[in-house]
């Protein structure tokens, strides 16, 4: 059975995630309205700018429906800004920064530094065979992971890939370099 996986399409790496999901066999589509959100078997929160995405989600009346679907158990994969949106707590956020929550982690925004500090590295990710080439762009890291959170990968001594039940999040952008194994891991959670 083909799974319907939405990609929150308010800002960020939407096209790249759609392509990666389609490559692993998902029926992938952009999500901009509550009707589209309601038809998802799973959802990807892309990399981009977390505060902008949260503001746009509020503007388009998606913030509360997103929170409700996550609370109901919707499987979600967040990359970079998507990890921040899934986090229950944010360090170094802007005043009044909102998240969707659901993932029992505390993330630090822009933990690896500014845009000029962006980097690429190979990581071992639990559940994925072989090394994963990871692209970090103004990336967060996990400061604290709750007891139910499984750390899948670390970089610079901090968790950068985590899973809690059917929620998966990475600090890095697998979508920008054609890496699809994490998308496969997510689709398999569905």
80 has catalytic annotation: yes
Phi, psi of 93 (to 5 degrees): -80, 170
Say how far apart CA 132 and CA 161 lie, in whole Å: 11
Say how far apart CA 67 and CA 7 lie, in whole Å: 15
36, 98, 175, 179: the catalytic one is 175
The number of CA neighbours under 13 Å toward the Cβ of 36 is 18
Per-residue pLDDT in tens (0 to 9) along the chain, 190 residues: 789 999 999 999 999 999 999 999 999 999 999 999 999 999 999 999 999 999 999 999 999 999 999 999 999 999 999 999 999 999 988 888 899 999 999 999 989 877 777 899 999 999 999 999 999 999 999 999 999 999 999 999 999 999 999 999 999 999 998 899 999 999 999 9
16, 36, 80, 98: the catalytic one is 80
Of residues 34, 39, 44, 60, the one with CA closest to residue 12: 44
Considering Cα of 48, then 37, then 184, then 146, what sign does the dihedral take?
Answer: positive
At 93 the pLDDT is 80
Return the domain boundaries, the chain: 4-189
Is 60 in contact with 10 (CB distance < 8 Å)?
Answer: yes
16, 17, 98, 173: the catalytic one is 173
Please name the CATH architecture into which domain 4-189 falls.
Answer: 3-Layer(aba) Sandwich (3.40)
């Amino acid at each position: 059975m083909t799974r319907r996986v939405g990609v929150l399409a308010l800002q960020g790496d939407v096209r790249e995630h759609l392509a990666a999901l389609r490559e692993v066999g998902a029926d992938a589509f952009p999500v901009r309205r509550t009707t589209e959100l309601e038809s998802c078997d799973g959802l990807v929160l892309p990399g981009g700018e977390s505060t902008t995405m949260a503001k746009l989600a509020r503007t388009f009346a998606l913030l509360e429906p997103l929170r409700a679907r996550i609370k109901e158990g919707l499987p979600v994969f967040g990359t970079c800004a998507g990890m921040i949106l899934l986090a229950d707590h944010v360090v170094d956020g802007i005043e009044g920064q909102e998240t969707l929550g659901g993932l029992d982690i505390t993330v630090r925004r822009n933990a690896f530094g500014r845009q000029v500090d962006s980097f690429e590295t190979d990581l071992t990710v639990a559940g994925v065979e072989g090394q994963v080439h990871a692209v970090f762009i103004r990336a967060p890291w996990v400061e604290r992971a709750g007891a139910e959170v499984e750390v899948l990968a670390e970089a610079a001594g901090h968790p950068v890939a985590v899973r809690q039940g059917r929620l998966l999040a990475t600090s890095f952008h697998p979508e920008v370099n054609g890496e699809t194994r994490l998308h496969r891991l997510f689709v398999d959670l569905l």
